[in-house]
Amino acid sequence: MIPNLDETICAGATPSGFGAIGIVRLSGKDALSILQQVFVPFKKQTDFPKPRRIYFGTFQNGDHWIDELQTVYYKAPHSYTGEDMVEFFHHGSPFIQRKILETLIHHGARLAEPGEFTLRAFFHGKFDLIKAESINDLIFAEHEASHKIAMQQMRGYFSNRISQLRQKLIDLTALLEVEIDFSEEDIEFVDRQILIKTAKEIIKESQLLLDTFKTGNVLKNGIPVAIVGKPNVGKSTLLNRILNEDRAIVSDLPGTTRDYIEDMIYVQGLPLRFIDTAGIRHSEDAIEVVGINKTYEKAAEAEVILLMIEPVDAREEEISSQIEELKNKVPGFSEKKLILVLNKIDLMDELPSHWKKILDFETVFISAKRNENIDILLEKIVSFYQIQPSHLPDIILTNTRHVQAFQNIIKHLKEAIHLIELNSSQDLVSQQCRLAIHELGQITGEITNEDILDSIFSRFCIGK
């Protein structure tokens, strides 16, 4: 449900917790009058509040003083939301923030929904949907590459390209539709070859953009990796080794919070996301309880599967049968990249050098316990992905919504070309072009529906 934009909304814009400063935002038609009721500047000023000026004073609910703070008033349309807006910079205490919000609500505001400030900004034409989405991506970007992609989207490269494509198609379709009006006179305003050429150009461009999604997805969400194998081969030892090594490095950085990137590590700038297949990290017993099948189900989420083997099982027929089992039990196994990981090489007198010749898979020999060759294994995983975070193209798709739109655009334009080649009537051709234009418009938000907006903005934090 799209919230009511007539109401005045408020929310904390900083994460709850103790700190030097916290920020509360207020936006909507009553923002100014509420400000005048809850804030008294220390220096009496007749022209209070001038827009974009910082005032120092007391925030109060009636006679009850809540904080001494600074505030700024932004006059519509020159604010983030495009509405009248106020920001309060209060002492960074969750209690004070709550009291401020309660006061604002008491004076007629209501608590904002997630992403509602940005939704309002979008509705007031401050930016298009691509930029709105990029703001969220920017907030959640955890490393160089995802930050760069979000910044580029925010700066409008993608939006501009979409608008150009859309305009091209609109111009041609409009001419085509003029023809419909003159259909009895059999005039062709649009050279069919030009129309086909334009459609093909847009198809090609859409395909190129679709091709970037794999990279975009990898950079945004990490390369999903699953470790599978029989109980006791050393899966949890390896996983703990990989994640803990990284944690030691990352936690050296001041102020780094580890919680939400618990399972991510970065190798040559690329994020690897380890899927905890049925809780292998927690205990050996968990595997036995949940059963090996559960592990296989989880492994379906991976792009890279590490099949771990112990020395006793390092035989061709044993490995082949395990791979066969994976093929049968892991949905989509054939599209995944498989690496055989022979663990516990410290227990072997010599490496099974014949192995590689027997089985045509990437193989790495490691000792998880002794931390041997783990770096080689990680490098092998990222070598499947020819991505250099420092050399990314200007536009990269990271969003499944955009992917679906481009898939539909290609479908409609191929159909349009097909119809032209069959010499079909203009209106059938123009109908397909219109559908493609519609899809392009949905990407930028020139055309929207509630479901799209809901799904985009519900992912935002409250206060953004």
Q: Is the dihedral of CA 441, 444, 449, 452 positive or negative?
A: positive
Q: Does residue number 100 form part of the binding site for ligand GDP (CB under 6 A)?
A: no
User: Can the peptide bond before residue 15 be classed as cis, meaning omega within 30 degrees of 0?
Assistant: no
Query: Whole-number minimum distance, CB 401 to ligand GDP, in Å?
Result: 38
Q: Among residues 219, 233, 306, 453, which is the contact residue for ligand GDP, using CB under 6 A?
A: 233
Q: Among residues 79, 343, 398, 442, which is the contact residue for ligand GDP, using CB under 6 A?
A: 343
Query: Whole-number minimum distance, CB 170 to ligand GDP, in Å?
Result: 58
Query: Whole-number minimum distance, CB 290 to ligand GDP, in Å?
Result: 12
Query: Whole-number minimum distance, CB 280 to ligand GDP, in Å?
Result: 5
Q: Does residue number 231 form part of the binding site for ligand GDP (CB under 6 A)?
A: yes
Q: Does residue number 311 form part of the binding site for ligand GDP (CB under 6 A)?
A: no
Q: Among residues 79, 134, 237, 373, which is the contact residue for ligand GDP, using CB under 6 A?
A: 237
Contact string (CB under 6 A) for ligand GDP, positions 345-374, x = contact: -xx-------------------xxxx----
Contact string (CB under 6 A) for ligand GDP, positions 104-143, x = contact: ----------------------------------------
Residue nearest ligand GDP by beta-carbon distance? 234
Q: Does residue number 285 form part of the binding site for ligand GDP (CB under 6 A)?
A: no
Query: Whole-number minimum distance, CB 345 to ligand GDP, in Å?
Result: 7
Contact residues toward ligand GDP (CB under 6 A) are: 229, 231-237, 280, 284, 287, 343-344, 346-347, 367-370
